[in-house]
Amino acid sequence: MPVNTDSFLVELPTLHDTLALHDALSAAILPGIEELVPAARTLLVRFTPWLTDAAALCRAIRLLPPGGEGRRQLPLITIPVCYDGEDLPALAGLLGLTVNQLVEHHQSVRWKVAFTGFAPGFAYLASPDWPKEIPRRTTPRTRIPAGALGLAGEFSGIYPQASPGGWQLIGHTAEKMWDIARQQPALLQPGAEVRFMPVSGQRLVSLPGAAEVVCPTGQAATGAMTIITPGLLTTWQDAGRPGRAAMGVGVSGARDNGAWRRANRLVGNPDVAALEITGGGLRARAGQDLVLAVTGAPCALTLVAEGQHFALNMEQAFAMQAGDELHIGPARRGVCSYLAIRGVCPPPEQLGSAARDTLAAVGPEPLTAGGQIFTSPQQACEAVGPAQTPADWLPAAAETVTLDIIAGPRTDWFSEEALSLLTSQPWAVSEQSNRIGLRLNGEQPLARSQHQELPSEGTCMGAIQVPASGQPVLFLRDHPLTGGYPVIAAVAPHHRDLAGQIPPGCLVRFHLISSFTPVPESKCHEE
């Protein structure tokens, strides 16, 4: 089933078949495949379009020999759980059980990690002794605390950090599911067996520590800039972490890749991490002479030097001297601006990238007042680039932006009227939107023609997922790897950067450029 121009889903009869195909494809190493995301009954295949296509990969998959599930067995892990979830009483009633009966059955079952996804450290636990199919919430919660234990479909799962989600919450644990400081960050690995031990206790609330910017050891570096005010949200971003799906880690990276690359090109940097400034509002002081550039969402740029104020241009390199201050005003259009510093020394990478993934809590913490930015003379730079022209028009609040979309993979779960409604009515972008996704509100919700539970399956950047409320969510850079609500369509790759720059208060219209056309059996079998 099509997902986008660079990805598709293979649907299989059982979880065992899905994991077997994942193992077979991983061993085959077919040319052009970038990433595989296994889920309950599907395998998401993401590929490089100029190296292969969906039909060729489908034929190659059909020719693979059948194989078993070749996953290593890991030790039994015991997780203490306080069964105090807010959905527990209602869920027990729905299943015709008392709360004690539901808790006893859940903790008596021997669970096994089938696959990981949604977020780093989030393991989907399955068991043949748990035949219950648990419905998801009609409307997902915008924030579920770290350590929350939930049920959905045939799976149990523990949220590794605070994040949105639609699972039914039955308890919590103080065990850390994901710790980047561990040699193996994820506590639960595919193949591991898990049992839950009931305990009594109080809910623990953990707050993030103070943000710290550290220059990588072994590199000579100097303090180049000090953050005075970081604005609403300022993070380090680069091209992200492709190829980490097996660990439950998404790509993440800059919301507007084009603007991030332009900023680096203007100051002569290679494609290194730059500052993504959400909504503007950043102020910083130079500790040495610098060359900088700001691209993306247009803001008023002011250089404060020796008490005088000078207006600067976006999309153009400029110089600062030690002691000068840079003031970046609010974004007039779009959402994210990118500040690149020539010769910058990015913070230490985590899992191959310095990008901050806000859903996964991977990468350096957002910048705070007093944070230091470093430069290094060892950073290889090219000539400073000429002034650039922004790649795209960016929308402002109350304006309408049109995004091209591709139908699939679950378009057939919706009525014809719903697909027509998706492309005919405007969708308002909610204030609850962020790097994870845009929450959209329409006058009329999208109605499904199929109402059964959807087993969790892989999702892509730009996916338009529709929960039971019928009000869609458009996934952005920090989206979960898997989801349990049907995806009616996805934003085409050429509009992904534009989608990342849509501010709350905008109206979105969708333009269908490719209808729902699953790869036919005949094409899959063609030699």
Q: Which residue has the higher pLDDT, 464 or 165?
A: 464
Q: Residue 369 class from Cβ within 10 Å (0-12 exposed, 13-18 middle, 19+ buried)? A: exposed
Query: What are 171-205's pLDDT values in tens digits?
Result: 999 999 988 888 788 899 877 899 999 987 644 43
Question: What pLDDT shows up at residue 151?
Answer: 95
Q: Which residue has the higher pLDDT, 278 or 218?
A: 278
Sort strands 372-375 and 308-312 into parallel, antiparallel or unpaired.
unpaired
Binned at pLDDT 50, 70 and 90, residue 523 comes out as low
Binned at pLDDT 50, 70 and 90, residue 121 comes out as confident
Helices (H), 64-185: 88-94, 99-108
Binned at pLDDT 50, 70 and 90, residue 278 comes out as very high
CA–CA distance, 65 with 77 (Å, rounded to integer): 33
Query: What are 351-404's pLDDT values in tens digits?
Result: 899 999 998 889 999 999 999 999 988 888 999 999 988 877 899 999 999 999
Binned at pLDDT 50, 70 and 90, residue 483 comes out as confident
Sort strands 192-198 and 318-320 into parallel, antiparallel or unpaired.
unpaired
Binned at pLDDT 50, 70 and 90, residue 222 comes out as low
Query: What are 309-325's pLDDT values in tens digits?
Result: 999 999 999 999 999 99
Binned at pLDDT 50, 70 and 90, residue 14 comes out as confident
Number of neighbours of residue 285 by Cβ within 10 angstroms: 15
Name every residue whose Cβ is closer than 8 Å to that of residue 294 and which is 6 or more positions away in sequence: 263, 301, 312, 314, 315, 328, 337, 338, 339, 340
Phi and psi dihedrals of 165, rounded to 5?
180, 160
What's at 107, amino acid-wise? Q
Question: What pLDDT shows up at residue 147?
Answer: 95
Mean pLDDT calculated for residue range 338-345: 97
Closest by CA to 374, choosing from 516, 157, 181, 218, is 218
Q: Which residue has the higher pLDDT, 239 or 162?
A: 239
CA distances from 367 to 235, 292, 341 (A): 6, 18, 15
CA–CA distance, 122 with 119 (Å, rounded to integer): 5
Q: Residue 275 class from Cβ within 10 Å (0-12 exposed, 13-18 middle, 19+ buried)? A: buried
Binned at pLDDT 50, 70 and 90, residue 117 comes out as confident
Q: Which residue has the higher pLDDT, 120 or 402?
A: 402
Question: What pLDDT shows up at residue 519?
Answer: 61
495 secondary structure, DSSP code: G
Residue where the block lists tokens 């199919």: 133
147 secondary structure, DSSP code: T
CA–CA distance, 285 with 227 (Å, rounded to integer): 7
Mean pLDDT calculated for residue range 449-475: 92
CA–CA distance, 178 with 390 (Å, rounded to integer): 39
Question: What pLDDT shows up at residue 417?
Answer: 94
Do the Cβ atoms of 258 and 497 come closer than 8 Å?
yes
What's at 370, amino acid-wise? G
Task: Give the chain's length.
Answer: 527
The angle, 0 to 180 degrees and rounded to 10, between the axes of the packed helices 15-28 and 54-62 is: 100
Torsion sign over Cα 239, 298, 473, 431: positive
| pTM (two decimals) | 0.84
Q: Which residue has the higher pLDDT, 138 or 428?
A: 428
Lowest mean pLDDT among 59-73, 191-205, 478-492: 59-73
Query: What are 127-149's pLDDT values in tens digits?
Result: 989 978 898 887 888 889 999 99
Do the Cβ atoms of 407 and 515 come closer than 8 Å?
yes
Residue 16 is inside which H or E element, if any? Answer: helix 15-28
Q: Is the pLDDT of residue 209 over 50?
A: no
Phi and psi dihedrals of 422, rounded to 5?
-55, -40
Question: First-to-last CA distance in the chain?
Answer: 20
Binned at pLDDT 50, 70 and 90, residue 67 comes out as low
Q: How many alpha carbons lie under 13 Å from residue 17 in its C-beta half-sphere?
A: 8
CA distances from 201 to 143, 194, 351 (A): 22, 21, 34
DSSP per residue, 370-414? T-EEEE-TTS---PPPPP---SS----TT-EEEEEEEE-SSGGGB
Question: What pLDDT shows up at residue 208?
Answer: 39
Q: Residue 90 class from Cβ within 10 Å (0-12 exposed, 13-18 middle, 19+ buried)? A: exposed
Question: What pLDDT shows up at residue 348?
Answer: 93
Convert 266-285 into a string of H (helix), E (strand) and C (coil). HHCCCCCCEEEEECECCEEE
Binned at pLDDT 50, 70 and 90, residue 482 comes out as confident
Question: What pLDDT shows up at residue 304?
Answer: 97
Average pLDDT of the chain to the nearest whole number: 89
Q: Can you read off the two tokens belonging to residue 268?
A: 């002569």
Number of neighbours of residue 217 by Cβ within 10 angstroms: 7
Do the Cβ atoms of 320 and 290 come closer than 8 Å?
yes
DSSP per residue, 306-349? TTEEEEE-TTS-EEE-TT-EEEE-B-SSSSEEEEEETTEEPPPP
Binned at pLDDT 50, 70 and 90, residue 212 comes out as very low
Name every residue whose Cβ is closer than 8 Å to that of residue 8 and which is 6 or more positions away in sequence: 1, 2, 44, 45, 54, 57, 58, 409, 519
Q: Is the pLDDT of residue 440 over 80?
A: yes
Question: What pLDDT shows up at residue 87?
Answer: 95
Question: What pLDDT shows up at residue 207?
Answer: 37
Number of neighbours of residue 186 by Cβ within 10 angstroms: 22
Mean pLDDT calculated for residue range 321-348: 96
What percent of the chain is predicted at pLDDT more than 90? 69
